Amino acid sequence: MRHLFLIIFTLSALLSFSQAPVVNNKYLQISGVVLDDSLQPLPFVSIMIKGTKTGTVSDYYGFFTIVAQPGDEMQFFSVSHKSKAYQLDDTLSGKHYSIIQILTRDTVQLPLVNVYPWPSKEQFKRAILNLDLSDTDIERAYRNMENEDVRQSIKGGSMDAAANYRIRMQQQYTRMYQAGQYPSVSLLNPVAWAKFIDAWRSGKLKIK
């Protein structure tokens, strides 16, 4: 009886082992770069292996590396670009592979928003009527001359390292903030108006 039980247990174990699915234990190291449609590095892109919890994020230069298996599907997600998938061939025999993935920019157009300095037209009218316009023309001319002297002194001087750093960081922040959107209108930007007036005075806006 003991031998019969041992034979039945052995046969059932062999049968269950033969019916067990074959697990792919081959792993690949996938390294690559994510670029946008202008071939510029795309940072902070999420890369996931579909159906798993494996994922990574591209660095500031768009570089990434991830471990996958042959036949896996790699998914690329970015806030300002369209998502894309890349299917790995199930016949890959090596251990290290490199890819270049290009994502297309996805432009998002936000609804129009009107911004007013006063909550209502009545308050705007009241503020205009209560303006103090007691200054004479000569006083305003003196103030304008003082501002012009300040502007001329600023133009003649050079910026230090801290000022250059702040301007560069502001430009970088503006570029990242406007990614995936239409550029903001500089209608109320005093710096943009100053550049426009200088270009108009110097004759750069004349039609040739």
Within 8 A by CB and 6+ apart from 117, the residues are 124
**For 10-14, 122-126, 136-140, 178-182, which range has the lowest pLDDT when averaged over its residues?**
10-14
Range of the domain at 161: 110-179
Dist CA 31 CA 68 (whole Å): 10
Q: Is residue 33 part of a domain?
A: yes
More confident residue, 156 or 60: 60
Task: With cut-offs at 50, 70 and 90, classify the pLDDT of residue 94.
Answer: confident
Q: Quick check: 190 pLDDT over 80? A: no
Mean pLDDT to the nearest integer, 40-57: 90
pLDDT higher than threshold 60 for residue 15: no
Identify whether residues 95 and 156 lie together within a single domain: no
161 within domain boundaries? yes
| Total domains present in the chain | 2
- How many residues does the structure list for the chain? 208
CATH of the domain at 96: 2.60.40.1120
Identify whether 3 is part of a domain: no
pLDDT value at residue 184: 66
Mean pLDDT of the chain: 78
69 in Cβ contact with 93 (< 8 Å):
no
Buried b (16+ CB within 10 A) or exposed e, 151-164: eeeeeeeeeeeeee
**pLDDT confidence of 180, banded at 50, 70, 90?**
low
Write the pLDDT tens digit of every residue in 157-168: 677 788 788 888
Question: What percentage of residues in the chain have a pLDDT greater than 90?
Answer: 18
At residue 169, the pLDDT reads 84
Lowest model confidence (mean pLDDT) among 16-20, 74-78, 196-200: 16-20
**Are 98 and 117 members of one domain?**
no
Q: What is the pLDDT of residue 182?
A: 66
Please classify residue 28 by burial: count the beta carbons closer than 10 Å to its beta carbon, then call 0-12 exposed, 13-18 middle and 19+ buried.
Answer: middle
Do 168 and 122 lie in one domain? The reply is yes
Cα–Cα distance between 153 and 133 in angstroms, integer? 29
Q: Is residue 145 part of a domain?
A: yes
Residue 149 scores a pLDDT above 80: no
Query: In terms of domains, do 124 and 78 share one?
Result: no
